[in-house]
Structure 1
Amino acid sequence: MAAILTASAVPAFAATVLTYGEPGPNRGSRAKATEWFAQEVDKRSGGDLKIDIIWGGALFKANASRQSVATGVADMGTIIADYFPKEMVSYSLTNLPFKNQDPWVGLKASFDHMKSTDITRNLAKQNLAFVTSYTVSDVILMCKGDAVRSLADIKGKKIRGVGVYGKIFGDLGANLVGMSIYKAYQGLDNGLIDCSQGYKSSSKALKHHEVADSLTQLYWGIYTGLGMFINKDALARLTPSQRKVLDEVGADFIDHLGRDVMNNDNAAIKAMAAGINGRKIDIFSLPSADSEKLISAGEPYIAKWAKNASKVGLKGKELVANYRALLTKYSKERDDKGYPWFR
């Protein structure tokens, strides 16, 4: 009897569960990567730490993600820097059109940048902490009607553009339309926009190929300014071992996602060119001279970012220089050693 009482008095094991708000749907390579992250946290913690992903903007929309995670609407969530140009200026650096089209290189550089002391301190003031980065790969244009074959074709088109990329489309004569990527399907379908700034596998996951006629590869920068963040109070409530697991999975996520994005991007291009459910789209590549013009057009915006960062207490020019150095570092590592999953 005593043995029974003793056993029944032992409290049941209760895992810590973190709610995760995701504005996007549960499909595509990024969604699968998010599920991998949650599964790895569960596995490596021995079930002690779990992540409950709430999909499709049920907890908050993309344009409310920063304040929602900061105030505890969710413990964690995906934040897209371009929706918060002032508050997330530290992260928006990684969305600028630097001369890099390699997702893995961009992810590694972005991760190191966001884990730096100055950025960590800046985020802490907003009750946020960085966990890891996503990438939606290099920027493309999905268009309905006339395709974009050169920079001259951009003039006069109604384009959904985001961040500096969108501003440069505007500089080239496009009529910019403010719209979430999650609304681009309807925008293309009803003619509100002619083209949408997109990303290969992400655009396929969002089914933009169903309403677009062409895809233009721009060979212009990589988009890594969206990532996983955690409410600083929620992070403080975790045990040291739970925090260690979160940190380790966040670091390993970079290699996992980098490999998957490259594989899925290649598969997406092939699938859309071959035809999905009988619908093919035309694939175009911008001439290299035009791509170089786009990269050059981004330099004034990079300089402007440095000035704006300095206004909020960050060392703007130093951060730009450090980020360029990180891109060079990981490009060299790839060239010398190959990608981690091939070593």
Structure 2
Amino acid sequence: MKRIVMGWLGIVAVLLMGVGSNGWGETKVRLQCVYPEKAYVGQNTIWFADRVKELTAGEVNIKIFWPDQLVKTNEAFDAMAKGMIDAYAGSMLYFSGFVPEVNCEWLPFGWSDPKHAQELYEKHGWLDLMRQATRKHGVHYIAPVGVASMGLITKFPVNSVDDLKGKKIRAVGMEAKIIDVLGASPVAIAGAEQYMALKQGTVDGTNYPFYTIGNYKFYEVANHIIRPALFSPGIVEILINQKLYESLSEKNRKAIDQAGWETFLRTVELNPKYDEEAYQVCKEKNVTIIDLSPEVVDQLRKKTLPLWDEIAAKSEISAKLVASLKAYLKEQGIKIE
């Protein structure tokens, strides 16, 4: 009997010799991405997963599941906090009821360049503040991910604020509030249903990444892009369950955060390319690009400023994020009051 017991102990010891840095061997992470595999966010999520595997020497392996394969998108944050899924790549706007601070990443005419967004997260405390915001819910904010310029794609020309009055624009969450204060009527339609909604006239336009004019063939159902974009770039996020994250070794936690930040820097460099591809499609498909005058942009910004104060009042962290953004814009010589 003693030999049998010792034999089993030996087997267990051998198994434990192969454990990973968190004490439990290879860590497999189930990540659900809200976007399809071929979408730009999907491709950058794949890049992130590959980079994590490389930086952790295979100790952390991320398996990506695509939209709704594990849970419905609007259930993903709660599912992740409870450990039903391990990680998430996509917009947190779906979860603004849990994390109101995410609306700060979607303040219209905030940053006007991916490099500006990078500076805010890296040098003005935004990354740390967003991590504080999600940590309260059992979720670790790994990194932001840029989705290129995101603004109005319409079936009608926009040259002034008045041109938006009465128009139906597909928008959800924070975007819907922005469209409303600009005088248009927001319409909540799933992303996958936009093409038919534009084609059938259910909506007159959408607020979406400009690159979709080509990738989603919106040039067939819309004929104007309005610049500047409301968000340059739009931001989505990579998140992971806090307990799982903390169960990893310090080395592997740092590796995951590094992979996330490198993914963000990758999108900072790629976002202008995505925009240029969109503008080239516009030229080829006779989609008119309208550049609003500085005076009109100033009018639009003033109309949306009350939203900034509304969002700042949601939480102490939100107030810090908004104050930081206002201070940064002032440094850039941009008048926002």
TM-score normalised per structure 1: 0.81
C-alpha contact (below 8 Å) 2:108/2:178 kept by paired residues:
no
The CA distance in 2 between the partners of 1:44 and 1:315, in whole Å, is 31
**1:181 correspondence with 2:191:** yes
Match of 2:312 among 283, 306, 315: 306
- Greater mean alpha carbon deviation, residues 88-97 or residues 146-155: 146-155
Answer with 1 or 2: which has the greater Rg.
Answer: 2
Secondary structure at 1:308 match in 2: coil
Q: Does 1:193 align with 2:195?
A: no
Q: Residues 147, 65 of structure 1: CA spacing in aligned structure 2 closer, same or farther, 3 A cutoff?
A: farther
When structure 1 is superposed on structure 2, of 76-85 and 162-171 the one drifting more is 162-171
Count residues in correspondence: 315
* 1:273 counterpart SS class: helix
- Cα distance in 1 for residues equivalent to 2:71 and 2:118: 25
Contact 2:99 2:133 (C-alpha < 8 Å) held by counterparts: no
Does residue 321 (structure 1) correspond to residue 319 (structure 2)? The answer is no
Q: 1:189 to 1:92 in 2, by over 3 A?
A: same
Which residue of the partner structure matches residue 45 of structure 2?
34
Amino acid at match of 1:268: A
Alpha carbons of 1:61 and 1:225: their partners in 2 closer, same or farther (altered >3 Å)?
farther
What's the C-alpha RMSD, in Å, of the aligned pairs?
A: 2.8
Q: 1:104 aligns with which of 115, 126, 132?
A: 115
Consecutive unaligned residues of structure 1, counting only runs of 5 or more, are 1-5, 333-343
- Residue 79 of structure 1 deviates from its aligned partner by 4.4
1:297 aligns with 2:309: no
**Correspondences of 1:1-343 after superposition (within 5 Å):** 11=15, 15-110=26-121, 113-116=125-128, 119-144=130-155, 146-275=156-285, 280-309=286-315, 314-325=316-327
State the alpha-carbon separation in 2 of the partners of residues 300 and 247 from structure 1.
34
**1:81–1:89: 8 Å Cα contact kept in structure 2?**
no
1:33 shift after superposition: 1.5
Q: For residues 63 and 219 of structure 1, do their structure 2 counterparts lie closer, same or farther at Cα, with a shift above 3 Å needed? A: same
**Deviation at 1:198?**
1.1
**Aligned mates of 1:187, 1:252 — CA distance in 2:** 37
Instruction: Quote the offset at 1:70 in angstroms.
Output: 1.4
Residues 35-64 of structure 1: CA deviation (Å, up to 9, x unaligned):
111111111222221111111332234322
Kept after mapping to 2: 8 A contact 1:107/1:135: no
Return 205-214 or 106-115, whichever deviates more. 106-115
Structure 2 unaligned runs (5+)? Answer: 1-9, 20-24
TM-score, length basis structure 2: 0.83
Native 8 Å contact 2:172 2:186 kept in 1: no
Return the offset for 1:223: 4.9
Alpha carbons of structure 1 residues 328 and 52: separation in structure 2 relative to 1, 3 Å:
farther
Query: What is the alpha-carbon distance in structure 1 between the residues aligned to residue 157 and residue 66 of structure 2?
Result: 33
Amino acid at match of 1:324: K
Amino acid at match of 2:226: T
Cα distance in 2 between the residues matched to 1:132 and 1:207: 30
- Change in CA separation of 1:56 and 1:290 when aligned onto 2, cut-off 3 Å: same
